[in-house]
Structure 1
């Protein structure tokens, strides 16, 4: 029982460590949260979660490992992701002006500031971006596949940006259903907690929503250019 609990907790840490760092997914979640409310932000988080669940099933079936054999296909997916990020960056930039509170008061009673845009928009945006995000693709081609097989994984070493500093701090056994369940629970925890924190901050600071929308546009635009460049250099 202790072993299962430890694996589950390690999985939660792993999921949080993977979901929390800044990137295009969190940019979409942030924009949806401050502009349209917690529900929209959570739905965007569910979009990224669903994409990871899809990758998990594909990894289990061996499809992810099969895709690894075709670098051209991966490059096309990265290029499509880059174009989508630029498109969504343009949409986020348009949200900046509309996200200012009228007369310095709070948002609408229903938690929206957009006149009733479908909350599922964020889900679709995050889901499509996650499916073409090379970082998530690379994760499931390597570490993600390893989660399914008996072995060991250095959980915090896979944290984006700071993994080298955290290597060796949390090493767990892979191939455990408890580890995988904890992993997805950690992602869900971030998908619900991150929007809640943003909405709370937005209610306290009048200029918070426009600032987050602008930052989201910059992050999405920057990653869009980066992904397009990566795709182009693959073909050149």
Structure 2
């Protein structure tokens, strides 16, 4: 019983270690949450989570090792991710300049599919997520000792660890949009600030990844 609880907890912490740190995906979730409401933010989070499901299946099939063995493929993926981040940064900046009124929010919140699709496509080419699955993520496939937040934890059940992992991711992608929306409702200026911050974060990561891909392909 104790071993099962440890496996679930370790999986949950692994999920939070992927989902919670600041990065491109949280920038997209934040931008959707403050611009279009909790449903849109949650949809974006679920899009990123669904990409993790795809990565998990590919890891089970051994496909992810191809990325490690083919540097050119990795560079192309990084470059594609960088370009997408720049594109979404432009969209986030445009949204931030729009007027944040209740009618506008309600109209855009009615179609959360766009946020899901945007986050899913970006997550599939997000270098952070790809690298995470090539390193830490491989420990989800079998029992053993994993490193969680700098600590070594012995995991007894791979299945329970996977359940805990996706539970941790789901917890974050649910709580993060709700928290942002509550804060925005209390302080209206938070909305534009988060949207502009998301645009800057996406643009910064996008430029960096494009540069990294170009350097890898040209050297």
TM-based fold match above 0.5:
yes
- Displacement of 1:122 after TM fit? 1.1
Aligned to 1:43: 43
SS of aligned partner of 2:27? helix
Residue 207 of structure 2 is aligned to residue 214 of structure 1: no
After the TM superposition, which of the residue ranges 206-215 and 2-11 deviates more from structure 2?
2-11
- Displacement of 1:206 after TM fit? 1.2
Aligned to 1:232: 214
| Alpha-carbon distance in 1 for matches of 2:86, 2:157 | 38
| Alpha-carbon distance in 1 for matches of 2:192, 2:9 | 36
Question: Are the equivalent residues in 2 in contact too, given 1:100–1:207 (CA < 8 A)?
Answer: no
Question: Are the equivalent residues in 2 in contact too, given 1:147–1:175 (CA < 8 A)?
Answer: no
1:83-128 deviation per Cα after TM superposition (whole angstroms, max 9, x unaligned): 1100000000001121434xxxxx23xx825556631111111111
Question: Are the equivalent residues in 2 in contact too, given 1:146–1:174 (CA < 8 A)?
Answer: no
Question: Are the equivalent residues in 2 in contact too, given 1:93–1:213 (CA < 8 A)?
Answer: yes
Correspondences of 1:52-131 after superposition (within 5 Å): 52-101=52-101, 107-108=102-103, 112=105, 115=108, 118-131=111-124
Structure 2: runs of 5+ lacking an equivalent: none
- Segments ≥4 residues shifted beyond 6 Å: none
Residue 175 of structure 2 is aligned to residue 193 of structure 1: yes
1:139-165 deviation per Cα after TM superposition (whole angstroms, max 9, x unaligned): 111221232133211111xxxxxxxxx
- Relative distance call for 1:143 and 1:175 in structure 2 (3 A) is farther
Aligned to 2:163: 181
| Alpha-carbon distance in 1 for matches of 2:41, 2:154 | 31
Tell me how many residue pairs correspond in the alignment.
Answer: 218
| Alpha-carbon distance in 2 for matches of 1:115, 1:179 | 37
After the TM superposition, which of the residue ranges 34-43 and 65-74 deviates more from structure 2?
65-74
Compute the RMSD of aligned alpha carbons.
Answer: 1.6
1:55-109 deviation per Cα after TM superposition (whole angstroms, max 9, x unaligned): 00000011111232111011101101101100000000001121434xxxxx23x
What TM-score, normalized to structure 1?
A: 0.87
Correspondences of 1:146-165 after superposition (within 5 Å): 146-156=139-149
SS of aligned partner of 1:22? coil
Question: Are the equivalent residues in 1 in contact too, given 2:78–2:127 (CA < 8 A)?
Answer: yes
- Displacement of 1:32 after TM fit? 0.3
SS of aligned partner of 2:9? helix
- Relative distance call for 1:74 and 1:209 in structure 2 (3 A) is same
Higher helix share: 2
Residue 32 of structure 2 is aligned to residue 19 of structure 1: no
